[in-house]
Amino acid sequence: MRTIDSAMVLAAGLGTRMRPITDRIPKPLVEVAGKTLLDHVLDPLAEAGVIRAVVNVHHLADQIERAVAGRTRPAVTISDERAQILDSGGGVARALDHLGETFLIRNADSFWRDRAGSNIARLVEAFDPALMDTLLLLAPMEGSVGFDGPGDFFRDEAGRLTRRGAAPRAPFAYAGAAVMRKADFAGRQAGEIFSLNALWNASLAQGRLFGLVLDGLWLHVGTPAAIGEAEAALAAF
């Protein structure tokens, strides 16, 4: 079975929609079902063979540093963005020296429960660099919890993606997990501020942005109300 041993966890956001909770704790340390969002992200990475993870920090960064200080599975390196949030792409670009040639990316505000086998392992196994630059994990809009957007992508039978564009809704949302390569960041500088969407749009134009559909229950925890919704869904799953 193919493995990827490094991951980037994007945890530097301000968590404005989670206020007032995030006035006192950073969003990645919000607890759902007795476990922080960050642990809900890091634990499945460890189970899938990831041995090192970079976690970027900004808002109330000291708390996140303390929370991961004792972690060995995966071992955590902090990428300090206290001075300037670099957006999703810039955050990864700054951390490239700590990541492998191919690596996982995870958002810290969503997680899932696997139905039959690890979705991280499925994502890694499905990545084919001959066909794709990036492979995104996609959550079906139907049955997902806590996401109120119109969806992000359409997906063809081969897994190739197109954006929602002008359509009122799309069947899939980005589930906050992806496989990418260092080569995708060629020409980008550490300290540059940019979104991963800039890279994904370039890949999409070349027909090299693909998606894998999540098998399980996806939980997006973006607001205080979403905490209770997620806990109820987990109890019923």
Tens digits of residue pLDDT in 98-131: 999 999 999 999 999 999 889 999 999 999 999 9
Residue 189 has what pLDDT? 83
- Cβ neighbours around 186 below 10 Å, total: 7
Q: What is the pLDDT of residues 72-87, one digit of tens each?
A: 999 999 999 999 999 9
Name which of 12, 5, 142, 24 is nearest 81 in CA terms. 12
- Domain assignment present for residue 16? The answer is yes
Q: pLDDT grade, residue 230 (50/70/90)?
A: very high
- Domain assignment present for residue 1? The answer is no
Distance CA 127, CA 130 (A): 9
Domain limits at 65?
6-236
Residue 2 has what pLDDT? 77
Beta strands in the chain (DSSP E): 6-10, 31-32, 35-36, 52-57, 75-80, 102-107, 110-114, 134-140, 153-155, 161-163, 172-181, 209-213, 216-220
- Domain assignment present for residue 156? The answer is yes
- The count of domains in the chain is 1
- Map tokens 């206290």 to a residue: 82
- Map tokens 């987990």 to a residue: 234
Q: What is the pLDDT of residues 202-218, one digit of tens each?
A: 999 999 999 999 999 99
What is the residue-averaged pLDDT of the chain?
94
CATH number at residue 120: 3.90.550.10
Distance CA 212, CA 121 (A): 12
Q: pLDDT grade, residue 143 (50/70/90)?
A: confident
Number of DSSP helices (H) and strands (E) in the chain, helices first? 6, 13
Name which of 14, 21, 27, 22 is nearest 85 in CA terms. 14
**pTM > 0.75:** yes
